[in-house]
Structure 1
Amino acid sequence: MAFVLYDVETSGLNRRFDQILQFAAVRTDLLETDRFETRSRLMPHVVPSPKALQVTGLTLADVNSADRQSHYDMVCEIASTLAAWCPAIFLGFNSIRFDEEFLRQAFYQCLHPVFLTNTNGSARADVLNLMRAATSLHPSVIKPGEDGDGRPSHRLGPLAAANGIFTDKLHDASADVDAMLALCRIVRAGAPDLWSNFLRFSSKAAVLDLVRDEGAFAYFDYFGTPRVMHFLTRVGVSPNDANAHYCLDLTCDVDALRKLDADELAERMKQEPRPVRRLKVNGSPLLYQLWDIDPERFGDTSEDELTRTASSVRADAEFMEALTAAAASVEPVYTASEHVELQIYGGNFFSDADRELCQQFHGLPWERRPEIVGRFGDQRLKRLARRLIYFESPNLFDEANRRIITGDIAARRRGTGVHVSPPWTTIAQAIAELETMDGDVSEAFRTAFLDLC
C-alpha cells in the first residue's frame, strides 16, 4: 500500500474555527510517485491569528487575494486528489491531533466524507509519535532536535536539522512534507522493526486484534509517567466511545485496587500515575507484544510476572467491570453546542440518503444547489450547504437575506450576538494578539489588521 505524507498551514490553531490556507501531500512508497499542493483564501467569517500568519510568512493581503481559490474549491480539489490516491496509509507530523482534525473539519464544512483517511481500506499514523519512539528506543538512529534553550525538541524543524535534513522554508506545507519523508527514510533504514510496528498499528483492526487477544502488551507513550513503555491489559470499553478501550497498568498495585469500593476506585482514577489508560484503538497507538521488548525495559518486573497479573485480572469479570465503571465515571461530559463547527462528531453519522445528496450537491451548477438544501435530513448539512452557497454564489439569495447573512458574518467577526465568549478568533482578539507582537511585525502588517476595525 502506498503512503501519503501531508501537511497543512492554517489561519490559527483552533481546529474547529480556523481553516486550512495551504495543503501539500506526496504519494510515495518512500520514493515519490506523485505530488500535490494547493492554497486558498480566507473564508469571509474567519479572522486569522496574526501570529499564525507571521509564522507562515503571509499577510492579510496574501490570504485575501483574489488569485487564491476559494476554501470550498480547495477542499474539493484535496478530496478528489486524496480519494484517487486511496487506499493508502496517511502520515503527518502531529497529524492525528492537528492536521487531520483540520482536514476532517474542512471536509465536513464542505460536505465531503469526513473520515477519508481511515476508511475504505485506508489507515493513518502520526510521524511525530514515530520520531518520539525512535529517539527514545533507537537513539543511534534518530537524534532529537534542540530548542533555543538547549532542551531536546521533537518539533519538525529542529528534529530535521539535527538529523542532517535542512530546508530554507520553515512552516511551508510542501517543505514540511519533504522533511517528514526524509525522516521516515532514516527510520526505515536504521530501525526496520520500529517502522514495521508503526505501519502495522496504523490499522484500527490490527490494534483491536492485539488488545483483545493478548493478555498483556506494551504501549509506547512518550509522556508516560514514569516510563515511556507501559505494560497493559484491556479491561473494558468506554460507554461513550467505542474506540476508547480502558487498559489497566499491570505495574500498579492491583491487589490494592481490588480492595477499593466504587467511590474509592473512581477517586483513584484521578490520581497519578493513573491505573487505567484510555487507549484509542483508532488513534494509531504504538504497541508491542511482550516478547518483542528488550529485557531491560521491564525494570522491576518481568514478562512472566506481567503475564500472570494480566491473567488474574482477566479472569475476574467483576473486577474488570468495576474498573470500567470507575474509568467511565471520571470521563468529561460535553454538552451539545449551538455552533455547527462543534457538531462535527455530535449525533449520528450522516445517512446514506444524505451522503448521496452531498454528491449531487457537488455535481450541480450553483443555481440548482439550493434545491438540495431542503432535502437534507441532517440539520448540520442544511446549515453548511446554505453557507457554502452564500460564500460561492451570494447572488442566489435575495437582497433581504443577503443583508441578514452579511450582518451575521460581521457580528461573528466582532464576537457579538453570542451568549458567552466566542470560541473563534474575533477582530478584538486578533488586535490584542497583535499588540503582543509589537516590534516583530512590519508597519504594513500591523496596519492591515488595525484596518479590520
Structure 2
Amino acid sequence: MTDTFFWYDLETTGTDSQLDRIVQFAGQRTDAALNPIGAPINFYIKPSWDTLFHPEAALVTGISPRDLDREGLSELEGLTKIYECFSEPGTCVVGYNSFKFDDEFIRQGFYRNFFDPYGREWQHGNSRWDLIQLVRFAYALRPDGIRWPETASGRPSFKLEDLAEANGLLHEQAHDALSDIHATIGLAKQLQRSQPKLFDYHYKMRRKHAVLDALYPLGKQAVLLTGGYGPVTDRTLVPVLPLMPHPVNANSLLCIDLRVDPSTYLDLSAERLIDRFMKFEQNTGEYRLLHQVQINRCPPFAPISTLPEKTQSQLSWQVDDLAGFVKKIQSTPKLHPLLSEAMSAESRPTSDDVDCQLYSGGFVSAVDQQQFARARQWVNGGQSVVFTEERLNELFFRFRARHDATGLVPEEHSRWIDFLRRRWINEDRLLVRYQLTLSCQSEDPTNRLLAELIDRLQRQAASAAISLD
C-alpha cells in the first residue's frame, strides 16, 4: 500500500458546520513528493431546502443558488464521492485550517447522511493533517524559506491568499475551492523544500501514538507549544508542562503554562486554585494557566532543544527558569485530583436538535451502524429503516425529506413543514438572514446573486407560512 495525500477544500453557505452546508468540493491526490496523481476533482452540491444562505459567504464564493439547483449534486451524492476519495487505503487527507472548519463540515455531513463520521480518519492506514498547523510551526521555530506577510497592524498573516501572494504561488481566485487547493499544495512544496526535517516531524504528529511517544511520561519535562497559544512577540511560542490526560476526553491533554512561576499560585486554597486554572478572562494581563491540547489534531509540540538561540533572547520568558518551575509543580500532588474533579464537572454543550448531536449524542451502536448503508439506499428505492436509537429515526426522517420532500405522505409533509417553521423561527433565523441580505443589497442594488438569495428566502418563508414583515 502506497501512502498518498488527498488535498481538499470546501466552499460553504456559512460558517456553522451544523446548520450551513457544503456547496463546492475540490480535491487533488498527490504522492509523498507532492506530485499530482490523476486529475483534480471539482464539483458542486445543492443545499437542502432547510439551508439558509448567508449573504456574506455567498458574496465571497460567488456561487449562485440557482446554478446549484441546476448543476449541483444532492448532498448524498456529493458526500458519497467525498467518502470514496477520503477512504482509499493509505490516504492522508489534508486541508488548510481544515481541523477547525472543513473537517467539521465533513463530519457533520457524514453524520447527517449515515456515513461513519470518523472511520475514514484512521481506518486502513488513513489519517488527516492540517497544513496551517505546519505553517504556524515553521513561523515559530524555522521561519527561513518562507516570506511571511503581515497585516496592517504588523502581525503575521496566516491567511492562505496572503501567503500565496507573498510567496508567488498560483492562486488565481481566492475562495474558490480548486484554486485554494493549488495554493495549498504550492505552499506545502515550499515548506517541504525549505524545512524538510520540520515537515517530516510534524507529519508524524498526525498519529496519536507519535504524539504520546514524544510527551510520555507526562509531568516530567517542559516542551514548546506553538501556533495560536502565545503572543506574536514570542513568535507564538509557549513553554508548557503536559501534566495529565483529560479525565473525560481521551483525546485531550491538560498542559500547564510555564510562563508563570508556580509559586504564585500553588499555595492558594483548593477553591481559589481551581478558580485560577478554570476561569480565564481576556485583557486582564494574566496568562492562561491551563491549555487543553487535542492529541488527534497534530498538536504543535516541540522539544525545548529545538528553540533557536537567537529566538531565546527575544522571548518574554526565560528557558533557564523552566526546570525549576517543573519541579515545583511535581512537588504539588494535589493538582491532579483537583484538576480531574474540576474538569469532570465542567458542563458541556448539549442540544435537543438531532442535527446538532454528533458529539453530544454519543457514539452510534454497532447494530445501528449496520443499518447506515440501507438508510442511504432509500434514495434509490430501498426500504425504510428503523433504528434502535430514536435520534437516528428522526435524522432518517429529515434525510428523506431533504432528498425528496415530494415523496412524503401528507402526515409526514406536515411534520416537515413544522420542522422548517421551528428551525427558521428559532432566534428569528430566517427573518434575521433576510434583513441582512436586504442590507447587503441596499449597498449593491444591481447584484444578481443577492437578488437570487432574497428570492430564495422569500420562497422559503412562504413555504412555511412565515411572515417577513
TM-score calculated relative to the size of structure 2:
0.86
Q: Identity, % of aligned pairs? A: 24
**Partner Cα distance (2:177, 2:93) in 1:** 15
Name the counterpart of 1:2: 4
- The alignment partner of 1:42 has SS state of coil
Match of 2:318 among 279, 293, 301: 301
| Structure 2 CA distance for partners of 1:209 and 1:25, relative to 1, 3 Å | same
Query: Are positions 1:386 and 2:397 aligned together?
Result: yes
Match of 1:70 among 57, 71, 74: 74
- CA apart distance, 1:438: 3.0
**Partner Cα distance (1:441, 1:27) in 2:** 41
**Partner Cα distance (2:153, 2:443) in 1:** 22
- The alignment partner of 1:248 has SS state of strand
Name the counterpart of 1:290: 304
1:23-42, CA deviations, whole angstroms, 9 ceiling, x for partnerless residues?
Answer: 11111121111432221112
- CA apart distance, 1:311: 4.7
- CA apart distance, 1:395: 4.9
Query: Are positions 1:249 and 2:257 aligned together?
Result: yes
| Structure 2 CA distance for partners of 1:297 and 1:346, relative to 1, 3 Å | same
Name the counterpart of 2:461: none
Query: Are positions 1:221 and 2:232 aligned together?
Result: no
Name the counterpart of 1:18: 20
Match of 2:410 among 399, 414, 431: 399
**Partner Cα distance (1:46, 1:288) in 2:** 42
Give the number of equivalent residue pairs: 438
1:334-362, CA deviations, whole angstroms, 9 ceiling, x for partnerless residues?
Answer: 34211112211013211111111102333
1:241-294, CA deviations, whole angstroms, 9 ceiling, x for partnerless residues?
Answer: 222211112332112322011111122223430122111111211111223332
Match of 1:321 among 337, 353, 357: 337
Partner amino acid, structure 1, of 2:63: L
Match of 1:36 among 10, 34, 41: 41
1:53-93, CA deviations, whole angstroms, 9 ceiling, x for partnerless residues?
Answer: 1111122312322x321111111111122212x33222111
TM-score calculated relative to the size of structure 1:
0.88
Name the counterpart of 1:191: 195
CA contact (8 A) 2:437 2:454 kept: no
**Partner Cα distance (1:186, 1:253) in 2:** 39
- The alignment partner of 2:399 has SS state of helix
| Structure 2 CA distance for partners of 1:359 and 1:324, relative to 1, 3 Å | same
**Partner Cα distance (2:60, 2:171) in 1:** 15
Name the counterpart of 1:156: 160
Name the counterpart of 1:93: 96
**Partner Cα distance (2:377, 2:412) in 1:** 25
Name the counterpart of 1:27: 29
CA contact (8 A) 2:141 2:306 kept: no
Name the counterpart of 2:464: none
- The alignment partner of 1:258 has SS state of coil
| Structure 2 CA distance for partners of 1:441 and 1:143, relative to 1, 3 Å | farther
Partner amino acid, structure 2, of 1:219: L
CA contact (8 A) 1:39 1:69 kept: yes
